[in-house]
Each structure stands twice: as C-alpha cells, then as structure tokens.
Structure 1
Amino acid sequence: MERKLASVQRVLALHPIENADAIELAQINGWQCVVKKGEFIAGSLGVFFEIDAIPPGLPQLAFLWTSRHADGPQPRPENFRIKTMRLRGALSQGLLMPLGQFTLPENLSEGEDLTTTLSVGKWEPPVPSGMGDFRGPFPPLVRKTDEMRIQSIPGVLDELRGLPYVITLKCDGTSATYCIDPRTDEFHACGRNQSITEGANHYWNIAKKYEIEAALRKAPHLAVQGEICGPGIQKNRLGLKSLEFFAFNVYDQQQGKYLSHDDARAFLADANLLAVPVIEEGEAFAHTLDSLLALAEGKYEGTNNEREGIVIRPRVERNSLILGGRLSFKAISNRFLLKEGE
C-alpha cells in the first residue's frame, strides 16, 4: 500500500486545548493535529498532509515556513517538511486544511489520494557518506522495504486481533537488501531503491563482514532485508562501535512472499545473521493504538537515545485487506519524532 502523503480525510472529532482560544485538536484516522478553532466541524472533510510530506510551494501554505516578522511570504525552503511538534503543549502530527483552499476535482471521496494532484513530495533522511554508487535498478523480484504507520491505517488492528503476533524493535539505520537475481545469478547489495556498485561502501562491507553471498548461495531463492546501523549512520543512535546488520525480512523470490517469523529466524540463525530484537510476542494480539504508541517509546539498550519505534506482525504471514498486501505495520515513537525534529 502506497503511503498517502496528502489525502482527503474526515474529522472524526474535535477536542479543546487547555489555555488555547484560537486552536483546537482534530482527530483524523489515528492522527491528531492542531487546527484553527471553528475551521472544521466533526464529520467534515479536509486535505490532510501527513508528517514527512513536503507540501507544494503554494501561497496558502506559505505560513508554514514564513516568519511572522518576514517581509511577506517567502519561497518554501528546500526539503521543508511537515513534522511532529507540540503547540500549546498539544501533540500535533500533520496539517489539515479546508478543501476549499485548493483547486481540486469535484466530488472527492474520503481517503482519496491527493499526493500527485497537489505535487506533494516525501522527505527522506540525507544519505550518509560511504553508501556507494548506484549500480542499477532494484532487483524486480524482491519487494522494497516499507511499512505503513499505524495512525494512517488503524483498521489493521482488528485484522490482527486475537492472532499470534510478534513485535520487533525498529533499528534506526539505513535499509539494505541482499539477494541473488535468478535471471542473471548475480549477487546484489541494495539500498532502499537501487542496487549498489561493489566497493568500499557500507552495503558491501556488511555483505563481506557477514558473508551474506555465501549464505544466499545455499538458498538462492531467498533475499535478506535489514537495517545497517552504526557510526556515521543516522547519528548512530544504537551506540554501536562498528557497523552492524540487523535482519527483519527473509523473502522468497520463487513464492513471491515473506517467510513467517519462525522460519525466517531459523534461516538467519543458520546463516549467522543477527535478527532485529523481539520486544514482545504473544498468542492473542490485543493492543490498541495508544498501547502500541506507548510501547514504541523507550531507549536503545545501553544508550540514552530514544528508539525509533516498533514493527508489528502476525507470527504466521498473512495478507491484509486494508493494506492490500502483507499484514505488517509500524508504530513510531512520538518522543523520537519530537527529538528528531529539533
């Protein structure tokens, strides 16, 4: 399921903010964001920009990046994005604007994706040095790594309800995929979107350190995906002394599906590859949105750094009707987002 960085969303409820006369909190799906008081009523539709959205440089949005002391509206700064913040003590995640402030097609429906219509971009963290040059496209038989945030798709909680589940730590690093392309028999070390040229870079250094190609040659239909963490990557929030690789997926290229938790862990153990730590597991999933967001918060072990969050999945792989694919989603720590946005 593609992330909707801008979409038509319904205001589910409005809540007052203590000691604030001009603003209030609007609830959209599992998100909450600050809006002008009186601009919306419960049940009305608006244009919702999610966090990490790079909004278009339209005059009606210039208030987001123009100082109140500036001489008129300013051009949007490069890579300006919507962030998690606190306004009058209230957590605000996203931006909700009235439909009438934009030139849009008629008869828009709730949930309609406006990302392309409004030319909204997605903010990506700066690429660290030492990541290597692009070798070519991402191998087509392997799915790229991505997870939807629970606030955007709260209905998946009911799809997982009562099932055996596993919650793992989201390691803060850079995504890596390793596989053997069955069409060419070539080994690939990949970033999030591209195959990387072999050389003295993080992806290939990890591949050689853990002898990943040798492990995959024994099972060439499998691909391993995980996070490279350590010095020089995302402020090294795990406090590692050297680069490490934490696997979170094992993908079967022949079957076109991921291995279930136990099978993936067995393969990783046999290949001497580290798996992302398990935070919690159980026989019957019963978490709420609030309890998952609370569980997402904490410190990386041995550090004073806020952890990024958690990933939630059934123990046995299954599809989600809401996601239109794999039942898997993430909860990002609000404490992490507030600190990261500083």
Structure 2
Amino acid sequence: MAPVLASLETVGAIEHHSNADSLDLATVLGYTCIVKRDLFSVGDLVVLIQPDTVLPDAPWAATYRAKYNRVKAVRLRNEWSFGIVESVAILGDYAGPRDVGTDVTEVLGVTKYDPPQLDDGTGQRFVTGIRGDVVGRVGLPFNIPKTDEERWQSLPAKRIPIGLPVDITLKIDGQSWTAYVKLLENGEVACGITGRNVEFDLATADNAYTQLDRAYGVLDKLKAYVLKTGKSIALRGESYGGQIQKAKHNPHSSLPRGLALFGVYLIDEKRYAHKGDPFYFVEVARELGLPAVPIVEKDVLLTREHIKLYDEGLDKINGKPFEGVVVKHAKGSFKIINKSYDSKK
C-alpha cells in the first residue's frame, strides 16, 4: 500500500507568527506550518503535504522547489515549519472525493523523497554487479514490510501513549538493513539479506549489506535462534558509517561500517514484537550478541514535554547531532524527527 504523502485535512488551530506580521502558524493534524496571514481559518479544508516529499513541477510549487529539493523542517524568524499547508485550489479540476483524510498524493504528483545512496558495492545502485551479473531482486520476500516509522504528527491522539511506559531509542541516519530466516513447511529454512526494497543473492552479492552479515555472523546466529524458538524472524537494523548519508551533521557517517538492530518482525504472525514482548529487539539482540540502537530513555512515562524536547528542544544528544528518536511502547512505535537536524539535510 502506497504511503499517503498529501491529503485533505482540516485546520485545527491558527496562531499569529510571533515575529512576522504577515504570517500565521497553521496546525493540521500534528504538523505546524507557516502560512500567509489570514489565508486560513480553523475548520478550513486544506491540502497537507507531509515532510520528506518531493513536489511536482507545478506553478503552485515553484517557490518552494526553487529553494529546497524536498519538503523539510524550515525555521523562519525563530518559528519552525514542518510540512506544507496549501489551499484546495491547487487540486484544479479534481472531481473526486473531498472528505477529510482523502489521499491526493497522485492527484498532485507528490512523491516520496529518496536520499542519495552510496553504491552498494556491486558497481550498480540496485540489482546487477560490475560484470552485469544479477546480485539481487527488487522487493522483499514473505511479505516482509519496508522499514518505515510513522511520524508522531500523523498519529491521532489515542495512538500516542501519554502517561504510559516507553523506551526512547536513537534514530540513526544510515540505510535500512534486514536479515531474515523463515521456517518452511518441509522443515528447512529460507534466509536472506535485504536493503529497504532489494533482496540480495547470497551466492553472488558481495557488497556492504552482505559484508555486514559476515562481519557479525548474523544469519548463522539467527538460524540457530529461529530453530530453537520456532519463530520465523526478520531482524531490522540500520547500517551506518563508511560515508553512508555523508554530511557534516551526521555523526555516524564518518564511523567505520557498523550495524545497529532496532526491530524484530515476526514473519508468520505478520507483526512487530513491541515493548514487553519476549521477542522485543532488545531481548533478541542480547540473546544473539548483536549491537542494537542506543536507548536514550528506558521505561519512562511519556509526556508531551518528551515529544517537544526531541522534536525541537534539543540540537544534540550526548554532544552529537541526532536525526531523531523512535518511541517504542507496548502497542507500537513512532518517530520524532529532530527539526534542527532535518533542516540541515
């Protein structure tokens, strides 16, 4: 299912910009966006375009496209804007539904931003090697989903566990990495290594993804664990270092290549193991002797102040810039992207 990148929503709140007489702050869902003064009122139907998207080559998007290659956090006169709120007039002659929540991503031509990736070590970006041999295939096996956390701003209030215990983990700015072992009906197992949307051929691919498996012995450890527990598992992790997502503000990009686990997906049950589950990533990483993402705060009762702190109140954790954090609780997880970091990408 394609993600909703642009949708029809209603304005929840309007405030005057504290330092600009011609601007307002419009809150739509959990996103606060800078708009022209008196352009919108509370309750107006508007188009919300989410961050980490690329705008189409259209007149309404021209001003933004001239400055930025994607929709990102922007600070204007000491106020943050995260996302874009536009009038429904940009839909033109669109005659489809105009209910709150209607997906207009394809109508507008908005696409998801994919950051530039380093060569995977094969000489090509995806599935062929330097000799033209096939080293992988697009798509993930056994209906394993792509790794993608929801932003807190997109969640209804009832899905944000205020007052309940959570773990707050560091979000590393790297590349998605997955190792899986699937129990088959004949008693054998299928196993593999994938990126975000490509599975690599273990017999032919010798790249950064498969090299991490060998360096940490992941598949060998995971096979033994799967056979012991009887659970088909996909380990979700972030590969980092070696100039992945190279940027001055990314403290992980200049490190040696490494791996940090952040999730466990139970393939046959089609679900993630959340906080408190015996297969929670912390427990599995410890059992397998594999590195996991740092836990910034453990078993803390979540407050709105926590969200605001990691969203815009901090520039650094332990003296280093950070992309964001992921809040993990008993029923799910969500990400808080740090606006200061995002504005520099």
Q: In the alignment, what sits opposite 2:240?
A: 229
1:230-263 per-position Cα deviation (integer Å, ceiling 9, x unaligned): 1211125236641111101112222222234453
Q: What SS is found at the alignment partner of 1:328?
A: strand
* TM superposition shift of 1:333: 0.7
Q: Counterpart of 1:39 in structure 2: which amino acid?
A: L
Moved more, 239-248 or 30-39: 239-248
Matched, 1:124 2:114: yes
> Which residue of structure 1 aligns with residue 179 of structure 2?
178
Once residues 343 and 294 of structure 2 are traced to their aligned partners in structure 1, the CA distance between those partners, rounded to angstroms, is: 24
Partners of 2:163 and 2:42 in 1: CA distance: 31
What displacement does 1:14 show?
1.3
| Aligned 8 A contact 1:157 1:287 in 2 | no
* 163-172 vs 253-262, which moves further: 253-262
State the aligned residue count. 314
SS at match of 2:141: coil
Are the aligned partners of 1:310 and 1:330 in contact in 2 as well (CA < 8 Å)?
yes
SS at match of 2:303: coil
SS in 2 for 1:275: coil
What's the TM-score once normalised by structure 2's chain length? 0.83
Kept in 2: contact 1:238–1:300 (CA 8 A): no
Unaligned residue ranges in structure 1 (runs of 5+) = 68-76, 319-326
Counterpart in the other structure of 1:331: 336
**Correspondence 1:40-79 to 2 at 5 A:** 40-66=40-66
1:217 partner SS: helix
Q: Return closer, same or farther for 1:130/1:163 CA change in 2, 3 Å cut-off.
A: same
1:195 aligns with 2:211: no
1:170 is displaced (CA, Å) by: 0.8
Between the aligned partners of 1:21 and 1:298, the Cα distance in structure 2 is 28
Q: Which residue does the alignment assign to 1:149?
A: 151
Q: Deviations over 1:81-126 (max 9, x none)?
A: 2221122332111221111232223551112111122221011111
Work out whether residues 293 and 334 of structure 1, in 8 Å CA contact, stay in contact via their aligned partners in 2. no
* Corresponding residue for residue 73 of structure 1: none
* 1:141/1:181 CA distance change after superposition, 3 Å: farther
Gap change, CA 1:29 and 1:96, over 3 Å in 2: same
Q: Which residue of 1 aligns with 2:162?
A: 161
Where do residues 206-285 of structure 1 align in structure 2 (5 Å cutoff)? 206-220=212-226, 221-235=232-246, 237-238=251-252, 241-261=255-275, 263=278, 264=280, 265-282=282-299, 285=301
Change (3 A) 1:298 1:164: same
Contact 1:178/1:212 (8 A) holds in 2: yes
The share of aligned pairs that are identical, in percent, is 29
Which one is further off, 136-145 or 31-40?
Answer: 136-145
Q: Which residue number in structure 2 is paired with residue 20 of structure 1?
A: 20
88 and 260 in structure 1: CA distance in 2 versus 1, 3 angstrom threshold: closer
Match of 1:82 among 68, 71, 74: 71
